[in-house]
Amino acid sequence: MTGTSNWYESFFEGVVVDMWVNALPLEHNAKEAAEIARMLNVAPGAAILDAPCGAGRLSIPLAESGYNVTGVDLSEQFLTHARRAPQPATVTWEHRDMRDLPWSSVFDGAFCAGNSFGYLEDEGNAAFLRAVRRALKPGARFVLETPMVLENLLGHIQERPWWGTGDVYLLAHNQYDHSTSRLEIDYTFVRNGVVETRRGSHRAYPYRELAALLQASGFTVTTDVPWTRAQKDVYFVATAV
């Protein structure tokens, strides 16, 4: 598999969606959403963009805290779960590719979380960042949370980790391709004796390269965000110029 395939277009269906919907407890999601709001430095009532939003695990608690949230995702099945969940009227769902953000200077903050960055080829990743920048008001912040920072990834990657959530078990076979700077992953899902396999590909960037990509997309990057090698995810806080 090459990293430029559109694997993500059909990956988030069926057992994958069912697993991620139940992967984290509501208390964890609420705590993470509050931390994102803190990093965005926005007060309740602000307009926030969540791209991609999945089933709304962060959009919904932010809306419950008084924010006006727009969640964007390509997966119709994720969005079906999001729309069915109890939620305030201050959250809106949009079925879109993460690069297809038609707004201009609308949002007071935006974020991308949950291992959602790096699916695309380099130009696609850059196009997403530029689209986020256009959607933000000048001076608004963007929080990017990703494990796909090379210095971080190579310190934590396991060849064959596995997880279990509810009645679903997942085995991942990780292979880092140095020639393309991509983590190629074979996923095996097992539920009630039924086995499904999927493949994924994630671009990993050196910290400096990803910071430079954000800057080239119209952001300034805060360099004093706490990060230690013990963390599996790296947070970038960027401000729209």
pLDDT digit string (tens) for 150-166?
Answer: 988 888 889 999 999 88
How many domains, in total, are found in the chain? 2
Model pLDDT, residue 2: 45
Model pLDDT, residue 230: 55
In a domain, 3, yes or no: no
Among residues 16, 95, 100, which one has the least CA distance to residue 53? 95
Report the C-alpha gap between 92 and 88 in whole angstroms.
10
In a domain, 21, yes or no: yes
In a domain, 35, yes or no: yes
Contact 98, 52 (CB under 8 A): yes
User: Is the same domain home to 94 and 173?
Assistant: no
In a domain, 51, yes or no: yes
122: its two tokens: 């380099």
User: Is the same domain home to 120 and 186?
Assistant: no
Report the C-alpha gap between 90 and 66 in whole angstroms.
8
User: Is the same domain home to 52 and 30?
Assistant: yes
Model pLDDT, residue 141: 97
Model pLDDT, residue 229: 55
Among residues 75, 60, 127, which one has the least CA distance to residue 99? 127
Q: In the predicted model, what is the mean pLDDT of residues 82-88?
A: 97
Question: What is the band of 177 on the pLDDT scale with cuts at 50, 70, 90?
Answer: very high
User: Is the same domain home to 224 and 116?
Assistant: yes
Model pLDDT, residue 3: 45
In a domain, 2, yes or no: no
234: its two tokens: 């790296």
Among residues 110, 177, 99, which one has the least CA distance to residue 145? 110
User: Is the same domain home to 118 and 217?
Assistant: yes
Considering the chain, what percentage of its residues have pLDDT values greater than 90? 87
User: Is the same domain home to 41 and 68?
Assistant: yes
Considering the chain, what percentage of its residues have pLDDT values greater than 70? 95
Model pLDDT, residue 180: 95
State the CATH number of the domain containing residue 59.
3.40.50.150
Flag whether the pTM goes above 0.75: yes
pLDDT digit string (tens) for 192-238?
Answer: 999 999 999 999 999 999 999 999 999 999 866 666 555 678 899 99
In a domain, 185, yes or no: yes
User: Is the same domain home to 46 and 161?
Assistant: no
Containing structural domain, residue 188: 153-199
Report the C-alpha gap between 86 and 60 in whole angstroms.
8
Q: In the predicted model, what is the mean pLDDT of residues 78-85?
A: 97
pLDDT digit string (tens) for 38-70?
Answer: 999 999 999 999 999 999 999 999 999 999 999
User: Is the same domain home to 164 and 127?
Assistant: no
In the predicted model, what is the mean pLDDT of the chain? Answer: 93
